Structure formats: C-alpha cells, structure tokens
Structure 1
Amino acid sequence: MNTTHLSPLILVDGSSYLFRAYHVPYLQALSTADGQPTGAITGVLNMIKSLKKDYPNGNIVVVFDAKGKTFRNDLYPEYKANRPPMPDDLRTQIAPLHEIIEAMGLPLLVIDGVEADDVIGTLSAQATKKGIETVISTGDKDMAQLVNQHVRLINTMTNVEMDVDGVIEKFGIKPDQIIDYLALMGDKVDNIPGVEKCGPKTAVKWLLEHNTLDNVIANADKVKGKIGENLRKALDQLPLSYELATIKLDVELSQSLEELVPSSPDIEKLTTLYKRFELRRLLAELDKNQDEESGIETDTNAVQEKVDVNYDIILTQAAFNEWLEKLKSADYFSFDTETTSIDYMKAELVGLSFAVEPGVAAYVPLAHDYEEAPAQLNREWVLTQLAPLLADKKYIKVGQNLKYDANVLSHYDIEIAGTIYDTMIESYCLNSVATRHNMDALAEKYLDYKTVHFEDIAGKGAKQLTFNQIDLEKAGHYAAEDADITLRLHQAIFPQLEALKGQLAVFTDIEMPLMPVLARMEQTGVLIDSDLLAEQSQAIGARLQELEVEAHNIAGQSFNLGSPKQLQQILFEELKIPVIKKTPKGAPSTAEEVLQELALDYPLPKVILENRGLSKLKSTYTDKLPLMVSPKTGRVHTSYNQTVAATGRLSSTDPNLQNIPIRSEEGRKIRHAFIAPEDHKIVAIDYSQIELRIMAHLSKDPGLLAAFSEGRDIHQATAAEIFSVDLDEVTSDQRRSAKAINFGLIYGMSAFGLSKQLGIARNKAQAYMDKYFERYPGVLSYMEDTRRLAAEQGYVETLFGRRLYLPEIKSKNAMRRKGAERAAINAPMQGTAADIIKKAMLAVDAWLEANQDPRIKMTMQVHDELIFEIHQDIVESATQSLVTIMNDAVELSVPLIAEAGVGDNWEQAH
C-alpha cells in the first residue's frame, strides 16, 4: 500500500484548542457587529493555519468531542460531574467552526460515545502500525501516553514539541507510564479519583521505584506516613482511575486512514462564512490565493493579510517638508502624538507620526534625549509648520483617541479643526459591546493584526522607559505603526458605519462634535478646596478608628477589617452568622450586597459596611483629590471617556467625578470642596426625571403623557393611580412606593426586588406592579414589544439611532437571558438620556462659542447634570439662557425640564 500521501498524519485536538482559545484575553474581545462571538473560532483557525504552514505535506484531520455522555460516564457516573456547563458564548461558536473546517476541505470527526482523545488515540495507533509518522496537535497533557517512536505531540499555541525524550524531560517518566501517573494523581477537573495528596513528585517517585501502577499497588503496605495511608485507602479505586485515564485505541470508525484525506476547499462557501463571521484576514487570504491562481491583482484594502510597510524616521528639514507636501496632497491623513506620560496634563511632546496610505508612514522625533540619540528637528519649528495644517478645516484628519492628542497639542497652542475621524469612536458607534476600543483590540478584530505593544519597546514596571528614552529605531517603527494602523482601521471600520444610518448619525452628529467639547472641559478643569478635604480626611480617619474599636468589641477579638478571610472567620465561624451566599470557590461571601442583607439583623456587618464606605471615600477622594491638583493650573483635570459605557453615557477617570456618593453626608461633603473661583458662582443644571419622561415618550402611554404635560408630580400621580386616592390625599409613604416602582420598572426590577426595597411582602409588591400596568398599559406594551424586538433583531436603539447589541438575548441560560431583557428595556431610555445630555452640551458649547464670554465656563458633566462657573455679575441671566438651551436641546412628546441651582460650591448648587 502506498502511504506517502498520509505522511505525516496531523491529528488536531479541536476541543482542546477550542477551550484554550476561548480563554485567551485578546481573542475574547472578538465578535461580529451583531454580537456573535468569534474569538474561539479565530483561535482554532489560526492554529490550523499554522499547522498547514509548518506541515505543507501533512494530512490534517480535525477531531472534536461529541455532545452527551461517553463510555466513561457508564464506568463512573461522577466522571466530569464537577465541570460547569459550557458557556453559551462558546457553545454558539462550535457549529460555525465545524462548518468552516468542512468548507476548508479538512476531514472532521465527531464520534458519539467517546472523547476526541479516543478518536485521536485510535488513529495514531492505526498510523503507527502502518509506519506513518504522526503529529498530535494538542494542549492536553493526557495525550503524552500516546507518544512513541512514530508519534509526537505539538502544542501549536506555545510551539512546544514533545517526543519520547520530551515526555521523559517534562514528566520524569516514560510515555508508557503516563496512564499510571495520571491514575495515581487523579484529576480534579475530570473528577477522576486518585490518591489523596499524591502530586506529580510523589507519583513519579513511586513509578521510578516500582515501574508500574500494579507494582505500586503490590508494595502499598511498604509506603510510610500519611501518604501511605492515603495510598492504601485508594487501592480499590485505582484500577477504575487507570481505566478512566486510558485513551482508547480501538474506537470503531466509519472511515479508514486512506479515506481521511483533504478535499478541495469550497471557496464559495468559505467566502460566505468568512463574511458572515467577519473573519477579514482569512477572507483577504482567500481572495489573494484566488487572485494569484487566476493572475488577477486585487486591492484588499485594510484587511489584506500583509501590507508592505515603508516607515520613515524624519531627521532633516528637507525630509520633513517632503512629508508635509504628502500630507497636504493626501485625501486624508492619520496622525498620532508620542509623549512622556499618559496623563495629558503632565505629558511633554516627544514626537509625532503620520500616515497617508496603508504601509506609508513616518515618525518625526522631537525630544529623544538618551545618551546616543541623534540630532532631531527643533520642536518649535516643526509645530510652527504643522499648526496651520492641523487647524485648516479643508484637511481631513484621522486619529485614535484624538481627544488625548488634542489636549497635548493644546499645551503648544495648536488646535485640531475641520473634519476629523476617531477610529476609537467609530468602533464604539458601530458596536459598543463587541470589543474593547483600544488600538490593539481593534487591530486584532478588524485587521487581524497584532501591533507592537508599548511594553515591547519600553519594558515593564519600575524600570519602564518613557518614550524620550527609547532608541529611535524602535520608537520610530512603533510610532509610525500607530499612525499606519489608525489609517487602516478607519478604512476598515468607517464603511461599515456608513452602511448604518442611525449609528452614522450618532457618530457624525453627536460623538465626534462632542470630542472637542470634552477636550475643552478637561483643559478647563475644576477648582477644589484642598484644605477642606484635608479636614474631612482627618475626620474620616477618626471615625474609622472608632469603627475599628466597635468592630473588635462586637467580635470579641482584634482582626483586620479589610481582610475578607479574617472577616469570614469572625462572621461565620466565631459569631455563627448564617451564610447566605458563597464565592465561586465555595467560601462564604462577604460582598457588599451580602453585608447589606446581613446588616438588617446583625450589628457587625453594618459596622463593616460603614468602614468600607468611609475607607473608599478617604482613599479615592479626600486623600487623593488634593494630590491631583495640577501645579500648572491649580485645578483638577479629569478625563471623560466616550467609549466605555455601552449605553452611551460618559464616564470619567482620574478622578472619577461620576461616582462621588450623594446619599451619605460624608459623600455630600466632598461636593462642598468643588468651589467657585473668586467673584464666580457654581451653577448646576440637572434634567428632572429625564428617563421617566423618555419612557412616556417611547411608550406613548396616555396617562404618563398627561401627567408630564400637565406638570404634575409624576410620583404623586403614580401613587394616586396605584392606591386609588386623590392627588392631594397621597401620603409620603405612598409617594415613596410609587417612586420605587417608577424607577424600578425602568431598570427591570422584579416584584421580589421591589418587595425588598420597600420592605413589603412579595405578593403585595406584585399587586402594586399589576396595578401600575393596569393604569399605564402603554408601558407594559412597550416593555413586551421591546423584549420581542430585541430577541428578533439582537439589539435595541435609542431615539437617535444609537444601537446596543444584546448577545445574551437568546441565551439558554435563563439568568443571562433575563439580564439581557432588562438591558433591552433600560438601554433605550438610559441611552436616549445620554444622547440628550450630549446634545445639550453641544448646544451649550455652540452658545458659548457664539458669545465668546470668558466669564462662563462649562466645567463638568455628571449623569444628567451640567456644572458651570459663572461670574456673579451675569449669573442670573446666563443661568436662564442655559436652562432654556437645555430645555430645547431635543423635542419629546413631553416637556424636558432642566432645573438650576446656584452656590459657592457644587453641593450648594446641586
């Protein structure tokens, strides 16, 4: 028989790689625009592609586990009983992956009643008998038992090969001892019983001494100590463990080795599948291969597998002027800044990079100052040449996180104006939940390209270099690549955005115009009273000491209040408080929601909660804010994030202004420290009940529309409806209950949740909700229609076209599905509220720009509130104008109401 076409045989453990790829962080971010995960698919296909490259003459056969139980479950019902169910976002990738592999023309085996290991073991045994060299591609250590003079393992993810000598080097024993080794140790993941406390060293020691498991068993009475007792206890079950760990070599297969050969790929089907699952690099490779075969040259644009790069490092004025002309003549260009710090207030400009087409980019170093750094162009001269170009509205610019670049360049009085595209915001508007929106993740998702990371050229930790200290060759390639990849990302993402009218409008009408507004707010910063915060820190510190003493007295002993382990012991072992929830590892939970429930009945959890809250306030705000005051401006400068919250809300970091607590007295005191400059006032303007007004608009419920249009107190009106009383007879408790229902329904609260919040019986809470829907049937219809529509199309939209994808909306896991349904109801309201406040900010900014009055500054945005510094001479008239602008920002079926407060600090104005 001629076996040359079967040599070598490459057996791919598809299930092993599927799970491993699923847990790779950068692959987890990958999904299609409609939320279908593709990370595991990409990982396995990359591994197969690597094998095809390394073994061009190899016969690749891909094997996966079948659904359901195997013969091992018959031997031992508890086999793999502890394994959690496969995550839904992994399960949904299996069928597409199988379909792609079959379309590639590769043999695919999925055999019922056995595992992939057994099919691979059987094929490797058959190949060995025929003298065929076999390579098993796997990450599973159990496969080491199959290694012999004709069979070796390769882990394609780590590129590690293992032959007989490799097994001995790794495990300390020969391949024919691996089953004995596995049986002795057992396997917690597969729930195979072994000898308790027998680890790799003990198993190897016994096998080197006795050679086989049978001999270890025969000499069990000679093993001393506790481990000997454990061995003797396990004697009855060791034969079973051996059988469970043994890979079968005699699975009945319907195809012979001769029949398991690759066929021609189905190009049409592969093209369809690669497009459907947005596997752009594989699609580009497919197109390229087809074009090469037909002699056609095709431009695969930003998704081609490999772009020939030409990166320049510019050190002369002549070279710079040549590039300046390239920028001016390009349809558009991308650019990026390289600096000394990620904090835009501290950052010094080290260099700039540009790209005019894929692969054509340059880096202009300006301030590299390591010992042997070459002479560089004068920074002031370069910026003087560039400033008109960046400010000229006729030139189109592209960037990634352009707000940072705008802030850095503002230090040098350079403005970025005209039509600008930010690839981070493009990705976010296209799909806010499919991936992270940093360059590395976007390059992986849209270009299937792995970028050079900053740590690769600068190092890590305390010894990490700043950019000015990095060798120009390394720095130049890194910086030019940033500009190049940014350009390619724009070419890959923006056409997809253009095809979606609503999302394109969000990008062009809201998010991109907002970027420079946020940049100006960040540059303005906020004024704080550091002395007041220091006093508060001192007071909180004293209270923390009191709480520590109180906690120790309740516990009857000293312990570390910040240690979950010690707290677990005190609460649940010493004080015998009942355990109401456990961590994933089975320990009693001390999470905040658990302590909140326990605090209703026990004093120590209440003390711990107060301690945690105050500790966080102290470390996050009262201690930290004074340290964040910029020496340049005397102010604190936050960073607003446009691409973090899935619903469109802004978030902020360093410091986080969105999460300053307002329910506690100590939290409100922090707002006292946000002060107005001399002769100015703080003005805070907040939208009143905006999400409820949006609910009225979206649901078109006559009762809600009437209540808002007539200017009634919506909570009082709801209470009157639910409790069947006149408006003037509504009690404060009834209004409180109605308020909980009004807001609870927006966030998908259940009757159980409402009962806990109001402290009433669940059936009574359900009766309240039933009465609510009876009085406001339009709300119920809206919620039901939204759930149905979300399940049908996989996403919901805000009033202005912002789309939120819901990948879990069809999950078989009821908890995940219910969570997605709650998000489906809430997201259009929360997202529309986010859009409205952003539109208000744009309208306010336009008014400020038109007036050019330096006495009015917009300094903060927090949820549905805008905060201003206004000179006391014009505070009344300016506030009236701002309230009018915010009221008129958008038109709904009910009035938008913006309410203003004025004070010397934020708390007074709020």
Structure 2
Amino acid sequence: MMRRQVIKKRTQLEKFAKEVDLSQDLGFDTETLGTKIDRLQITSLQFHDRENKVSWSILTKESTFGEITLRDLKEVLNPILPKMKIVGQNLKFDLWVLKVNGLSDPILKDDTLILIYLADATIFTKALKERLHKDLSVPKTHIWGLDEKCTERSNEVFGLGIGSKGKPRSKKISWDFITTNWKAVTRPCPRYDLVVEKYGKTTLTDFWNNFLELSEDEEVCDIPLITEEIFIDYGLNDVEYILPLRDFWLAKLSPKQVKLYEEIELPFLKILVKALDKGAYIDRQLLENTGKKVKESLDKIEVQIYNLTGIHFNIGSSDQLAEVLYQRLGFPILARTDKGKPSTKASVLKDLNKTHPHKLLDLLLQRADLAALWSKFYSKLPDHIVNDKIHCQFNQAIVETGRLSSSDPNLQQVVNHKEYPVRDAFVPRPGYAMVVYDFSQVEPRILTHASGDPFLTEIYQNDRDIYQEIADEIGIKRSESKTLVLAIMYGMGAKSVSETLGITELEAKNYLNNFLAKMPSISKTRKSVEDAAKAAGFAEDMFGRRRPLNFHNKEDKNRALRQSFNFLIQGSASSVFKLSTIKVEEVMKKYNGFMTMFVHDEIIAEVPIKDVWKASLEMKEAMESTIALSVPLKSDGGVVKNWGDGKREITLSKQEVEELMTPKLSIQEIINLSLGYQCLN
C-alpha cells in the first residue's frame, strides 16, 4: 500500500533527506505560484519512490499550508539533489524552477513529454492528465487539475445559489484566477449569499471584481476553495503515475530512437533550461523608443488615409476597408475570401497596386507593414521583459519534424525591419559580448549527403555557390534556382513553383524536370525513401527520428509521400542543430559563456568580453564539426554588437573586439582625473 508523507516543517524535511533512497528513480514535480519568471516561488515539491511505495509532498510557506522556507530547501536539499535521479513530465519547467530558486540540479533521468514526442510526434495532446487517462486508464476525476477540482467546488464555496434555469450556479475557475488570488483561495473565501446578506443585493460581476477586498472581511467568508487535502492530493496524484507512464512510452521506442533520446534530446533539454534561465538581454529604452517611432508613423499614415478617402473608418476592419476600396472608391475586386467577401489582404493590395497604382494603396501597404510590426513586437515585447531580460520558452516537443518552436514570446517571428529593426534591441549584458552563428544551407547539404549526388557534392566540397552553379547549369536565374532546391526538398509541385516564381505552370514543370535530369540521384533517393515509408507506415531521418504517416486515401497518400522525403531532410537538420548546441555548450563552459536563443539554424550566445574572440572561433569550429557528412557543414557569423547585426552579417574584427575591453571614460571622469593630476602637482 502506498504511503503518503506530508512535510511541513524543517525537521520533517531533514528526516526526508536522510531517508529518501537515492538509488531509485524518483517521480518528481514542482508547484509554483505561476509560470512566469516573477511568479516561480515554490509552493510544493513532490517526490515518489515506486520501489519503496512512498510519496512525499513538501509544503512551503508560500503554499500557506507549510512552514518550510526557501532557505530550508536550499540548506537541506542542495546536498542531495545532485544525487537524485528524477523522472517527470515537461522537466524543462521544473528544472528552471529549481534554478530560479537557487536549488541544485538533480540527475535528469527521463522526461515523459520527450518520450511521447519521440514515439509519436503527431500526438496532439501530450498533457499529462490526458496521457494518464488514455495510456494507463487512470480515471479523469482522479487526476483532475487544480482548476477542475476548484470548479467542482465553486458553488459550495462561494454560495452562488440556484441559477435562472434551476441549476446550481458554478464558476469556471481558471489557473489565472487561482494563481492571482492564491492567498485568498487557500483561506476562507467570500460567499455570495453572505455578501448579499451583509451589503445588500449585488451582481455576480461586482462580487468577482471585489473578490480580493471581500476576502479581507471575515464576516462574509466561510470555507477555503483550496484546502490542504485538495492541494496535496492534486500534487501527488500526477507524480505517483509518472514512472508507469515512462515505462509505457520508453517500451515503444526503437533502439535508434533510444539513442536519439539519450544522446541528443535529453542533453539538449538541459541546454534549453540554461538558456531559459539566462534569458535574452534587452535594451529596453531602445525597444520602447523605436516602438514610439513606429506608433507615430502609424498614426501619421492613418491620418493621411482618412484625408485621402474623405472618411474616418476602422482601417483594421477588413469589411470596412473593403467597403471603402471597392464600393466607395471603385477599385476592382481581384480576390475573395473563403466566405466570398472581397479580400483586403496585403498580397492582394500589392497586386492591385501593380494594375491600378494609387497613393492610397501605397499608404495601406505601409500601414499593414507597420501595424504588424507594432502589434506583434513593439506593443508586446516590453510586457515580457523582467529585469532587462526576456525568458522565452523554446519548445522541444511540438513540431513534428523535430524543429524547435518558441513562445511567450515567439522569438522565431522577430523580424529585422529595415527602418525599425526589432533585433537591434537584443544586446549582450554588461561585461559580455554577443556571438551569433547560423548554419549555412544545412538542409541542401543534407539533401546532397543523403542523395550522394556527384554534381552537388563537388560544388560543396569546393565551397562554391550551389544556387548559382545550378542556375548556370540549367539556364535560369539564381533566385529561381533557390526556389527549385526548396521545391525538391519540400515536395512543391509545378503549380506552386509557377506561383512563387510568377511563371507558367509549363515553364515550372520544365525547370523541375531539367533540375532532376541533371541530378538523377535525388529522384532515386526520393523513390527509395517513399517506398520505405509506405512499407513501414512512417518516415525516418538519419538519426532514427520518426514521423507516422497516413496512407488512407489518395490525398493522404500524396501528402505522406511528400512528407517522407522532406522529413528525411528536415528531421536530420533538426538533429544536427541540436547536436551542434551540445558541442557549443562545451565551448561555453570553457569560457563561462552561455547560449540565450535558438532561431531556426542560428545560435545566439554571450561570452565575457575578454574571451569572446577565442570562444567565437571555437564556436564556429564546434558547429562545423558537429557530424561528418560527405560535404562540409558551414556556419556564418561572429562577434556582433547586437542580434540585428548578426542578421545583417556585420561582425566585429579582432581589433574591434579588443577595443571593447578598453574602458571608455566619460567627459566628467576625464575632468576628474585631470583635476586630480593638477592637485598632485
């Protein structure tokens, strides 16, 4: 029978530290006041030892249920955490929580989120409670989240009474509500009926708006929304099933997938934790000042649009803009939306401006550009800055090809606008310099390696321009050559190529045929990959990463065949990139540097100024020696002043780097030194 031990005092914590069996894999989870960097105060830690049939819930002072302080956690747990072998779900978050709170890193044994992802990246729902229910048949009510448990209790706790339809009123309790009102919901909560009794009739909206204020009035408060029992049960229910879930998914991996998991994905997870903890350093003043300029330009353009049209309307409303353009001003309709309405997309307006040039269309396109810049970046990024840093979430287990995605905020979408460059605000922190390196054409190089094509191999081995050489060989422009290479890798047909290049479908078909005729080994490799995928039901990359495919009908089959060849290239490229970060991490450790961002095939790092030149050279070497292919890997970059310069390929020379180490004196400091010298004489 499972024993549950609740630890609320330091003496109990010390006993746990002596008794916990460090030879066992331990299920592990953390609970915090929130998920953002400034809300990561620990409310509880959960451990589960399956072999010894015991679970522990460590309750801190922050939870309101325990007395254990952060100092207690550090002094008692830090000596044993490095010996603990932990298993959890989405351990990137839990390891980050430990770092932020000054606790030692445990041994990362297994992460079920990564196991599920490797076993079947197409699984949409990887949430722990869903997987426990579907994979281990655990009843949903047994593993309800705290929000679900609280929603069930809401009518009882808040005394909301019966609604207009004769059913008990309940409030859907969100995580935001719980974390925002944590102290209020863990002690007796205000009841609606008692509030009405004391203060007179009031609306439910007013009740919720004044929730915190009412929580201070003991006369209208009754029972807690979250009791100690509910909180402990919620924390331990998940962690007690994590080891069986690990076993379930680990058994589904092939030997190659296990190797991929142990040698690439788990080490890369640790790198992501470190990058998340360090954060990207931001010049907030530059970001906000540039944002003001964007907003001012946007406002001026909108005034010009109103003056030109003679009407004040919501330019951001596609319906209102369509009415002004097509009905009031009589512009022809070039395209319609899926619902049959006249389209006002920027691409449509651009085409319209070619056939019917007009200052209004110029202004609308300028506004669309600036509006996107403002809404996506300059109005939102400042909200993510904490202590001059943005702590972006780089997501390891979402994209089916193995590539990273990012969120909160999405730094992969950050553009380097020519006039208002967002990336320029991403700078090194004081005492450090920024190093940026980007893999050059990693996917075409993998295509060349996988196909063994002699024409492409010879170009890369002699470090020549692959796109220009292909263009010269088949008689097209370099830009068209680049599109063809992408088309081959991504399975684009003649129609897509014709639309991209603005040529006829017949011309596009001839381009593709000429390309493949010159490089027949690509067609042979693609056929071989597609046949293997059909036989196995999944695509596989060079490292054993798999992507399940659907061959149910003709449409699915065609899509699956395109995906199989593309996955060989994209999946392999993702693994090469992750492997490169593992090698770069060794360079960073050597020079006390760290990586902060990973954007597509680009690594952004910071190194103390005194060592940055050596670190930069070794970082380039590490990336280019990641894996031995039939053609060399290549990375471009160097030491830069900011992330924007990295994109513009404006790198610092060795002399310029050395100048960074020379302290710059202000005018006042020079005057003070001069006065001091005069006094001495």
TMscore range, shorter length: 0.7 to 0.9
- Counterpart in 2 of 1:263? none
Deviation at 1:776, TM superposition (A): 0.8
Aligned to 1:811: 553
Runs of 5+ consecutive residues of structure 1 not aligned to the other structure: 1-307, 724-732
- Whether 2:117 is the aligned partner of 1:428: answer yes
Distance 1:407 1:546, change over 3 A: same
Mapped to 1, the partners of 2:175 and 2:263 lie a distance apart of: 41
In structure 1, distance between residues paired with 2:453 and 2:310: 58
Check 1:877–1:350 CA distance in 2 against 1; reply closer, same or farther (3 A cut).
Answer: same
Cα pair distance change 1:811/1:407, threshold 3 Å: same
Contact 2:41–2:62 at 8 Å: present in 1 too?
no
Q: Aligned partner of 1:676: which letter?
A: P
| 1:821 equivalent in structure 2 | 561
2:41 is the counterpart of 1:348: yes
Q: What secondary structure does 2:394 align onto?
A: strand
Partner of 1:452 in structure 2?
Answer: 144
Aligned counterparts of 2:411 and 2:498: Cα–Cα separation in 1: 32
2:413 is aligned, of 640, 643, 659, to: 659
Question: 1:476: which partner in 2?
Answer: 232
The equivalences for 1:495-534 within 5 A come to: 495-497=251-253, 500-534=254-288
Alignment of structure 1 residues 139-218 onto 2, 5 Å: none
Equivalents in 2 of 1:447, 1:454: separation in Å? 20
| Distance change (3 Å), C-alpha of 1:666 and 1:337 | farther
CA–CA distance in 1 between the matches of 2:30 and 2:300? 50
- Hey, what does 2:669 align to over in structure 1? none
Aligned to 1:385: 76
Aligned equivalents of 1:454, 1:666: Cα separation in 2: 47
Aligned ranges 1:481-492 → 2 under 5 Å: 481-492=237-248
Shift of 1:323: 4.6
- The structure with more radius of gyration: 1
- Distance in 1 (CA, whole Å) between partners of 2:32 and 2:467 is 52
Which letter does structure 1 place at the counterpart of 2:81?
A: L
* Counterpart amino acid of residue 145 in structure 2: H
CA–CA distance in 2 between the matches of 1:594 and 1:489? 50
Q: Kindly state the Cα deviation for residue 313 of structure 1 after the two structures are TM-superposed.
A: 2.9
C-alpha distance 782-597 of structure 1, shift in aligned 2 (>3 A)? farther
Alignment partner for residue 570 of structure 2, among 797, 810, 830? 830
> Does the C-alpha gap of structure 1 residues 597 and 653 become closer, same or farther in structure 2, counting only changes over 3 Å?
same
One-letter identity of the residue aligned with 2:596: T
Between the aligned partners of 1:773 and 1:586, the Cα distance in structure 2 is 40
Q: Distance in 2 between matches of 1:529 and 1:702?
A: 48
Q: Verify the 8 A CA contact 1:339 1:351 in the aligned structure 2.
A: yes
Q: Tell me what 1:785 maps to.
A: 528
In the alignment, which of 874, 877, 881 is matched to residue 611 of structure 2? 874
Partners in 2 of 1:672 and 1:316 — Cα distance? 49
Asked whether the 8 Å contact 1:580–1:594 carries over to 2, the reply is yes
Counterpart position of 1:848: 588
Do 2:38 and 2:386's aligned partners in 1 also have CA atoms closer than 8 Å? yes
> In structure 1, which of residues 635, 638, 645 is the aligned counterpart of residue 392 of structure 2?
638
Alignment equivalent of 1:560, drawn from 314, 330, 337: 314
Query: Which has the higher mean CA deviation after the structures are superposed, 796-805 or 430-439?
Result: 430-439
Instruction: Report the TM-score when normalising by structure 1.
Output: 0.59
- Conserved 8 A contact 1:327-1:333: no
Distance 1:674 1:764 in 2: 44
5+ residue gaps, structure 2: 151-172, 187-225, 648-681
Distance 1:329 1:509, change over 3 A: closer
**Other-structure match for 1:696:** 448
Deviation track 1:396-416 (CA, whole Å, cap 9, x = no partner) reads 210111111111111332222
The one of 367, 375, 381 equivalent to 1:611 is 367
Mapped partners of 1:552, 1:638: distance in 2: 39
Q: Which amino acid in 2 is paired with 1:804?
A: R
Residues in 2 aligned to 1:903 and 1:847: alpha-carbon distance in whole angstroms: 18
How far apart, in 2, do the equivalents of 1:544 and 1:401 lie? 41
In structure 2, the CA distance between the partners of 1:533 and 1:847, relative to structure 1 (3 Å rule), is closer
More deviation, 892-901/525-534: 525-534
Q: Distance in 2 between matches of 1:599 and 1:823?
A: 36
Q: Is the 8 A contact 2:460 2:632 kept in 1?
A: yes
| One-letter code aligned to 1:684 | V
For 1:225, the equivalent position in structure 2 comes to none
Query: 2: CA distance between counterparts of 1:335 and 1:639?
Result: 21
Partner in structure 2 of residue 464 of structure 1: 178
Matched, 1:580 2:325: no
Query: Within 5 A, what are the aligned runs for 1:82-101?
Result: none
For 1:357, which of 29, 46, 50 is the aligned residue? Answer: 50
SS at match of 1:561: coil
Query: Distance between the aligned counterparts of 2:609 and 2:14, measured in 1?
Result: 50
- Superposition deviation, residue 874 in structure 1: 3.1
Please give the alpha-carbon distance, in whole angstroms, between the structure 2 residues aligned to 1:368 and 1:437. 29
Contact 1:435 1:442 in 2 (8 A): no
Cα 1:905–1:334 shift into 2, 3 Å: same
State how far apart, in whole Å, the 2-side matches of 1:881 and 1:425 are: 30
SS where residue 313 of structure 1 aligns?
strand
Q: 8 Å contact 1:694–1:833 — kept in the other structure?
A: yes
Distance in 1 (alpha carbons) for counterparts of 2:94 and 2:176: 25
Kindly provide the amino acid, as one letter, of the partner of residue 57 in structure 2. Answer: Y
1:252-291 correspondence to structure 2 within 5 Å: none
Aligned-pair CA distance for 1:909: 2.6
Instruction: Summarize the alignment of residues 125-136 of structure 1 with structure 2, pairs less than 5 Å apart.
Output: none
CA distance in 1 between counterparts of 2:431 and 2:60 reads: 42
Tell me how far apart the structure 1 counterparts of residues 535 and 345 of structure 2 sit (CA, whole Å): 36
Q: How many angstroms apart in 1 are the aligned matches of 2:3 and 2:44?
A: 18
1:647 & 1:508 partners in 2: Cα distance? 18
Distance 2:462 2:119 in 1: 39
Q: CA deviation at 1:601?
A: 4.0
Give SS of 1:644's match.
Answer: coil
1:698-737: per-residue Cα shift (whole Å, max 9, x none)? 11111111111121110011012111xxxxxxxxx71111
Structure-2 residue corresponding to 1:313: 6
Matched residue, 1:409: 98
State percent identity of aligned pairs: 28
Cα 1:462/1:687, change in 2 over 3 Å: closer
1:839 equivalent to 2:528? Answer: no
Aligned match of 2:428:
676
Cα separation, 2, equivalents of 1:553 and 1:741: 45
* 2:484 equivalent in structure 1: 741
Over 3 Å counting, the alpha-carbon distance change for 1:795 and 1:599 in structure 2 is farther
Give SS of 2:79's match: helix
What is the CA distance between 1:419 and its match in structure 2?
Answer: 4.5
In the alignment, residue 648 of structure 1 is paired with which amino acid? G
- In the other structure, the counterpart of 2:223 is none
What is the match of residue 327 of structure 1? 20
Counterpart amino acid of residue 665 in structure 1: K
Q: How does 1:231-246 map to 2 (within 5 A)?
A: none
Q: Deviations over 1:588-611 (max 9, x none)?
A: 555666666656545667755543
Aligned pairs (5 A) from 1:615-634 = 615-631=371-387, 634=388
Tell me what 1:366 maps to.
60
Q: Per-residue displacement from partner, 1:318-346 (whole Å, max 9, x unpaired)?
A: 65456545631663111111101111443
**CA RMSD between the two structures:** 2.7
Scaled by the length of structure 2, what TM-score is found?
0.78
More deviation, 636-645/677-686 = 677-686
Aligned residue type for 1:803: R
CA offsets, 1:266-287, max 9 Å, x none? xxxxxxxxxxxxxxxxxxxxxx
State the shift of 1:481 in Å: 1.3
Tell me, what secondary structure is at the counterpart of 1:388? coil
Letter of the structure 1 residue corresponding to residue 418 of structure 2: E
Question: Are the aligned partners of 1:685 and 1:865 in contact in 2 as well (CA < 8 Å)?
Answer: yes
* Maintained 8 Å contact 1:424/1:437: yes
